[in-house]
Amino acid sequence: MSLPKNFLWGASTSAYQVEGAYNEDGKGLSVQDVKDPFPGTPNFNVCSDHYHHYKEDVALFAEMGLKAYRFSIAWTRILPTGSGEVNPKGVEFYSNLIDECLKYGIEPIVTMYHFDLPNELDKVGGWTNPKTMDAFVEFATILFKEYGTRVKYWLTINEQNMMILYGPIIGTTKPGQEHLLYQSNHYMLLAQAKVFKLCHDMIPDAKIGPAPNISVNYPHTSKPEDNLAVLYINAVRNWLYLDIAVWGKYNPIALDYMHKKGFKLDVSDEEMEILKAGKPDFIAFNYYSTATFEGPSADVKPNPEADQQIGLSDEAFYAGVKNEFLPFTDFGWQIDPLGFRTTMMEMYARYHLPLLITENGLGAYDRVEEDGSINDDYRIDYLKQHITELKHTVEAGVDVIGYCPWSAIDLISTHQGFEKRYGFIYVNRDNDDLKDLSRMKKKSFFWYKELIEENAESL
Ligand code: BGP
């Protein structure tokens, strides 16, 4: 079984986690720049300093053989206050980055918004305010005009579902706004639908898709209550987002959840028409792990061990539990390559759209040996297992157009600092000391290069 010759072998980053230069060249502040970092983790001011090292970094990506680089554009570099005045230096930076990729034949895959809402928009309510929707459309119009002839793959919003379910951890929602959560979600979905349409109108030969984090979950046992819990979590975590992105319809199970939880949702017929009119060309998604759930009962408490990025608990509906059949990463995330296959097959059977994997990877403590080598065999092993499942998925008839693991280069984790590394390229800094920020190729760099060269035929 072979993958298509034009398969987009890539790798991913996001602006606020990799770029640094948080206040340089006219950039405005985002919610990530002003939030209090988690204890023991650094702020996002310097990150991997990709802003100043982008030429060196893209040259390394080219050496690794990447066919695609998925990065995000910091909204506040283009529009420092979120709307209104454009910052020419910000426009220039991404223009240069795109050209640098194209110089090496690397396809730029651009995420428009990756967790870094402009702080000025946040001050007036963020996504609870429908004006943010207009600002996003304004931002998208600038991006399509500036880069539309060069960028053919666009992603609207990274992990909208995680921003809704994990807002306080990611730094994207404020305490006290829970009752407005699903109304904000609605505005984000509307903004996305408008931008799908705008993209097709402005750059007809480009493709655009959503980029949620999707994983199909397991019932803990065959108890009917556990199965019901999984029905709810799959709807609330996955299908709510994709049903609207693809079909323009609210998922009824998710609606029932919102109703029972007392979440306010004000939706007009005209808005439903907008949701229906915006269509994606593919589904981009991030996958790290599945999670396992049991039904709610008086003695089921949220399980902190399962309460990682993927494991969720909601006392009235589902409780995340540990899956005893799966191993854990150093940071407590369960590893489930077969769940990757199940997730893709289920998504494709539901939506019949091409799939693009925009994140998948292993966060680990890496060690530089005395001879300068970084032997991240555990990462190679993780990626190998997932790519093997990807091949089985394609063999089963699923249209997968590319694979962009997280991350191209080391960067700062959403809430677990710099020592949780994902990259193929090591960045010489740690949580407290910026050191020299020099780049070093890990063992996985050489492994991925070879894998791309042989189009994963050996797996
Ligand atoms: C996804 C985000 C990324 C990235 C990744 C790894 O949720 O889209 O921004 O951070 O997860 O997560 P973490 O950094 O928490 O290990």
43 lines ligand 1 (CB under 6 A): no
Average of per-residue pLDDT across 53-60: 98
Give domain status of residue 2, yes or no: no
CA gap 281, 197 in Å, rounded: 11
Give domain status of residue 68, yes or no: yes
* Contacting residues for 345 by C-beta, under 8 A, at least 6 apart: 393, 396, 398
Pocket test for ligand 1, best of 13, 160, 406 (most atoms within 8 A of CB): 406
DSSP 232-290: HHHIIIIIHHHHHHHHS---HHHHHHHHHHT------HHHHHHHHH---SSEEEE----
- pLDDT tens for 300-357 read 555 555 545 455 677 788 888 889 999 999 998 999 999 999 999 999 999 999 999 9
Q: What is the CATH number of the domain that holds 379?
A: 3.20.20.80
The residues that bridge with 71 in the sheet, in sequence order, are: 110
* Per-residue pLDDT, 309: 47
* Per-residue pLDDT, 174: 80
Give domain status of residue 226, yes or no: yes
Residue 378 has pLDDT above 70, yes or no: yes
Give domain status of residue 148, yes or no: yes
Could you tell me which of 330, 296, 335, 290 has the C-alpha nearest to residue 310?
Answer: 290
Active-site position among 120, 159, 389, 419: 159
Give domain status of residue 1, yes or no: no
Q: What are the two backbone dihedrals, phi and then psi, of residue 451, each rounded to the nearest 5 degrees?
A: -60, -40
* Per-residue pLDDT, 234: 97
| Other C-beta atoms lying within 10 Å of the C-beta of residue 124 | 12
The residues that bridge with 439 in the sheet, in sequence order, are: 427
Give domain status of residue 47, yes or no: yes
Number of domains composing the chain? 1
Among this protein's residues, is 359 annotated catalytic? yes
Distances (CA, A) of 110 to 95, 208, 246, 322: 12, 9, 20, 35
Distances (CA, A) of 382 to 58, 164, 222, 335: 24, 28, 29, 8
Could you tell me which of 112, 118, 111 has the C-alpha nearest to residue 30?
Answer: 118
Average of per-residue pLDDT across 107-115: 98
Q: From ligand 1's centre to the CA of 245, what distance in Å?
A: 22
Residue 168 has pLDDT above 90, yes or no: no
Q: Which atom of ligand 1 is nearest to the CA of 14?
A: 9
CA gap 279, 196 in Å, rounded: 6
CA gap 251, 329 in Å, rounded: 33
Give domain status of residue 13, yes or no: yes
Among this protein's residues, is 146 annotated catalytic? no
CA gap 459, 456 in Å, rounded: 6
* Per-residue pLDDT, 298: 58
The residues that bridge with 70 in the sheet, in sequence order, are: 12, 109
Residues of the chain above pLDDT 90, percent: 88
Mean pLDDT for the chain overall:
95
Full domain range(s) for residue 321? 8-453
Q: From ligand 1's centre to the CA of 371, what distance in Å?
A: 30
CB 286 within 8 A of CB 360: yes
Measured on CA atoms in the order 42, 44, 50, 51, is the torsion positive or negative? negative
Give domain status of residue 458, yes or no: no
Q: What are the two backbone dihedrals, phi and then psi, of residue 246, each rounded to the nearest 5 degrees?
A: -90, -45
Average of per-residue pLDDT across 69-89: 98
CB 274 within 8 A of CB 219: no
